[in-house]
A and B are shown apart, each in its own frame.
Chain A
Amino acid sequence: MVSSSASSEAAARALSPPRRRNSAFLRAMRRNPLGIVGLVIIVFVALVALCAPLIAPYGPTEQVARRLEVPGAAYLLGTDEFGRDILSRVIYGSRISLYVGFVAVGLALVAGGTFGMVAGYFGGRIDTLLMRVVDILFAIPSLVLAIVIAGLLGPSLTNAMIAIGIVYAPIYARLVRGEVLAVRNHLYIESARATGVSDLGLIGRHILPNITAPLIVQTTLMLSTAILAEAALSFLGLGTQPPEPSWGTMLGSGRRYMELTPWVAIAPGIAIAITVLGFNLLGDGLRDALDPRLRGSE
């Protein structure tokens, strides 16, 4: 059953416009309540980030009260060591987390994806050479490499994004190469080539659209990893710098006052966990819906 549906799906993919797959995709998503939960979480976090100035009671760096105020009616989550409202900082922090996540993963996708596309499409010596470089990058523990790059570039939000992007690029390189190898010899690619489509045209019009499903899944899951990595770098003091309200930075600086005023460190941690959980649930759901090979295994 699996093989027949997979092959008919592949045939359908090659022949028909993508609309049919979309409705199948929606049906598969609807069967997947956890994926929907993930989507709802992400939409919620995105809305919070977009509407931060409207919903946050105070500015993110505004000193509004005495320092380390206990959570109460005026300051729902209390205030931090500079008398800033923690709820407002957590709300604004969602902007940084999502921004870092998208930019860093985008960087990894473009850089790694290009690498993998070139290797997979042209094959031969180029492939061997590029993939050896990727293998070597894989041999360095990724968070260690990110710490080194971010630390040497100098602690800042931008540099943390660059570090995370570089470190995760090899994952995309491997994924894209594998997918390109899988579709490269299909008949529709060959016939497109026979009609005189250029290399770039083949890649852009025929190969890319057919490998987007695994890329979307990987990107969703990667966003959760990148957000965790930014939090870790910021926690170590290598990412977003104070007074910017990054969740990781808040945790790192709140840690020092924690025994007396635990609320300083609790809220940002929960915010990270919820966001990361959302991307993980959505990624799992998308994988089940988009990847026919895995459909039914979850």
Chain B
Amino acid sequence: MSRYVLQRLALVIPTLVGTSLIVFVLLRLLPGDIVDILFGGDPQVNQQTLDQIRESMGLNKPLIVQYGEWVGGLLRGDAGVSMRSGIPVSETILRSMPVTMQLAIMAMIFAALLAVPMGVLSAVRRNGASDMITRLIGLIGLSFPAFWLATMFLLISSTVFRWVPPLKWVAPWEDFGQNMQIMVVPALLLALQPMAIIMRMTRASMLEVLRQDYIRTAYAKGLRERMVLARHALQNAFIPVLTVMGVQFGALMGGSVIIEQIFALPGVAFFLLSGIYNRDYPVVQSTVLFLSLLFILVNLVVDLLYGYVDPRIRYG
């Protein structure tokens, strides 16, 4: 087992290096930098001044040096300083990331808790009423944009129920009740699409497994249905479901950027979007890299869980 873990861990590093390179190159390839955004088109600023500002920000150094400085800083825990505000990027990431993380994790928990039982039920009672209902819910979750549902929710809650979520975000460890009041609805809305996808995968995978001989054997030797489904069917059907969950976690992080904007949550969305508008390289590249790191780690956990769910993988 430990060798498997080590092999998986070793893959994280080249992936991270590749990700950092792609993000870094992408930012420099696309036109315009922060100096253009701040002073571009201002006739009073001449080229010499622009060059001086670029020099003071280190933007005129060779790209390889800029990349080295960024990565070197990251290794020391320093993600650079915002070119716009002068605030250290790691400070802002530490402040905003818990909000985004909480939103994504809660959404994933909601999605998994709803999707797996629904998918199993739908596969077992194939073509029955509950199957039709779950498939309908799945199609709705897949088709309605979460940001539209969120807008509708705010509309209905404020006009019909005269309820608006509390404005000021508090961390769960400060005031759990108020935190939940703020976070439950955005997380549920965000969960809808991944829930639909996980449910469809659970259903398809279960249908495949339920056809197998060993399921018939399990029933034939007199096991109760609950036992057959939980121990024999679901465990064998779970690997693709787990994979989809890992992939969906990435979608959740993108989706939370939009949901945060709608519910005015102080997560990475605002920070990332304003960083993009201002061409604030340190902000954008470090935030995207950090989000990718989380995504990579989640998929690493998924990889390790494979071995737990299916013992054959541990020795493979």
B18 A142 Cβ-Cβ under 8 A: no
| In the complex, chain A residues whose CB is within 8 Å of the CB of B305 | none
- Of the listed residues B250, B251, B253, the one surrounded by the most CB atoms of chain A closer than 10 A to its CB is B250
- Looking at chain B's contact residues, is the secondary structure mostly helix, strand, loop, or mixed? helix
Which of A24-32, A87-95, A132-140 is found at the contact surface with chain B? A132-140
The proximity string for B residues 288-311 relative to A, scoring 1 for CB distances below 8 Å and 0 otherwise, is: 100110011001000000000000
User: In the docked arrangement, what's the CA distance between A88 and B116, Å?
Assistant: 42
The listed residue (A139, A152, A235, A269) touching B152 by CB distance below 8 A is A269
| In the complex, chain B residues whose CB is within 8 Å of the CB of A140 | 19, 22-23, 288, 291-292, 295
| In the complex, chain B residues whose CB is within 8 Å of the CB of A269 | 144-145, 148-149, 151-152
User: In the docked arrangement, what's the CA distance between A141 and B297, Å?
Assistant: 12
A262 B207 Cβ-Cβ under 8 A: no
Instruction: Count residues on chain A whose CB falls below 8 Å from chain B CBs.
Output: 45
- Of the listed residues A135, A141, A224, A259, the one surrounded by the most CB atoms of chain B closer than 10 A to its CB is A141
Known: A228-B145, A251-B151, A273-B145. A143 touches B257 (CB 8 A): yes
Query: At the interface, yes or no: B80 with Cβ under 8 Å from chain A?
Result: no
The proximity string for A residues 117-143 relative to B, scoring 1 for CB distances below 8 Å and 0 otherwise, is: 000000000000000110111011111
A139 B19 Cβ-Cβ under 8 A: yes
| In the complex, chain B residues whose CB is within 8 Å of the CB of A144 | 253-254, 257, 272, 288, 291
Known: A140-B23, A147-B257, A251-B147. A259 touches B277 (CB 8 A): no
The listed residue (A265, A272, A280) touching B155 by CB distance below 8 A is A265
User: In the docked arrangement, what's the CA distance between A214 and B15, Å?
Assistant: 28
The listed residue (A146, A266, A272, A297) touching B208 by CB distance below 8 A is A297
| In the complex, chain B residues whose CB is within 8 Å of the CB of A266 | 152
B193 to chain A, nearest CB (A): 9
Which residue of chain B is the closest to A38 with respect to CB atoms? B139
B151 A152 Cβ-Cβ under 8 A: no
Which residue of chain B is the closest to A228 with respect to CB atoms? B145
| In the complex, chain A residues whose CB is within 8 Å of the CB of B292 | 139-141
User: In the docked arrangement, what's the CA distance between A273 and B151, Å?
Assistant: 14
Q: Which residues 211-267 of A sit at the B interface, judged by CB distance below 8 A?
A: 224, 228, 231-232, 235-236, 251, 255, 258-259, 262, 265-266
| In the complex, chain B residues whose CB is within 8 Å of the CB of A154 | 31-32
B30 A149 Cβ-Cβ under 8 A: yes
The listed residue (B23, B139, B273) touching A147 by CB distance below 8 A is B273
Query: At the interface, yes or no: B255 with Cβ under 8 Å from chain A?
Result: yes
User: In the docked arrangement, what's the CA distance between A275 and B72, Å?
Assistant: 48
Q: For the side of the interface on B, what is the size category? A: 35 or more
- Of the listed residues A136, A142, A255, the one surrounded by the most CB atoms of chain B closer than 10 A to its CB is A136
Query: At the interface, yes or no: A189 with Cβ under 8 Å from chain B?
Result: no
Query: At the interface, yes or no: A151 with Cβ under 8 Å from chain B?
Result: yes
The proximity string for A residues 134-178 relative to B, scoring 1 for CB distances below 8 Å and 0 otherwise, is: 011101111111111101111000000000000000000000000
Which residue of chain A is the closest to B285 with respect to CB atoms? A148
Known: A136-B15, A148-B284, A269-B152. A141 touches B145 (CB 8 A): no
| In the complex, chain B residues whose CB is within 8 Å of the CB of A281 | 139
User: In the docked arrangement, what's the CA distance between A227 and B170, Å?
Assistant: 35
- Of the listed residues A132, A140, A232, the one surrounded by the most CB atoms of chain B closer than 10 A to its CB is A140
Query: At the interface, yes or no: A277 with Cβ under 8 Å from chain B?
Result: yes
Query: At the interface, yes or no: A86 with Cβ under 8 Å from chain B?
Result: no
A153 B147 Cβ-Cβ under 8 A: no
A147 B276 Cβ-Cβ under 8 A: yes
User: In the docked arrangement, what's the CA distance between A127 and B272, Å?
Assistant: 34
User: In the docked arrangement, what's the CA distance between A262 and B160, Å?
Assistant: 12
Known: A133-B18, A151-B276, A236-B261. A139 touches B143 (CB 8 A): no
Which chain B residues have a beta carbon within 8 Å of chain A's beta carbons?
A: 14-16, 18-19, 22-23, 26-27, 30-32, 139-140, 142-145, 147-149, 151-152, 154-155, 158-159, 204, 207-208, 250-251, 253-255, 257-258, 261-262, 272-273, 276-277, 279, 284, 288, 291-292, 295-296, 299
A selection of 14 A-B contacts at a CB cut-off of 8 Å is A139-B299, A140-B19, A140-B292, A140-B295, A146-B254, A148-B288, A224-B142, A235-B147, A236-B258, A251-B145, A251-B151, A268-B148, A273-B143, A280-B142
Q: Which A-B residue pairs are the 8 nearest by beta carbons?
A: A143-B254, A269-B148, A151-B276, A136-B18, A277-B143, A141-B250, A152-B30, A276-B143
